[in-house]
Amino acid sequence: MIAEDMAGLPSEIAAAIARADMLVDYRPDTTSFCWSELGVSILNNITGVAQDYHFPSDEQLASAMDTALSTLDPGKLGESLHTIQDSFSHFGFKDNHVAATVGSKFSQKVKNPDDPKSNINSAADMAMLTLDILRAYRIRLQIQKALTAIASALFAVRI
């Protein structure tokens, strides 16, 4: 797993981030297209709920980056990573993602916006940014741990 091996995160934290990232595609309140939640998927696309997580505006992408680069919560990091990652894979599919996803199931001529092979350079850029964000998260965790130890030592001295 990249988060463990390359970013140096503990396995339980890496798994929590990965789970939160993946679940954005399947949770009824965040999905943009899921065969098992087809009715909810259609509703989310009509109401714009899917937009925030899967087709972010520049402002939504900036907000996801801010969260990803500041949070200590692995769940929030995973959700933010999903939005950031989808900004790469869904670029150019804003108005026809569902049609492209369904079309790609029945025709090899239609690109699947969730298939990294449809744009390998973009997928590589997305993977590098994800790794950078995960490494920054690891550093924040290390700083928090060090500050907690310092604070504990200071309070222990005062007693």
Residue 77: name the closest of 21, 126, 128 by CA: 21
pLDDT at 156 over 90: no
pLDDT tens per residue, range 55-66? 788 898 899 999
Q: How far, in Å, CA of 68 to CA of 102, rounded? A: 31
Regarding pTM above 0.95, the answer is no
pLDDT tens per residue, range 40-53? 566 656 666 667 77
In this structure, the number of other CB atoms found within 10 A of the CB of residue 88 comes to 18
pLDDT at 2 over 80: no
Higher pLDDT, 90 or 40: 90
Mean pLDDT is highest, among 4-13, 90-99, 136-145, for: 136-145
The crossing angle, in degrees rounded to 10, of helices 58-68 and 74-89 is 140
Q: How far, in Å, CA of 3 to CA of 125, rounded? A: 16
Domain boundaries, the chain: 2-158
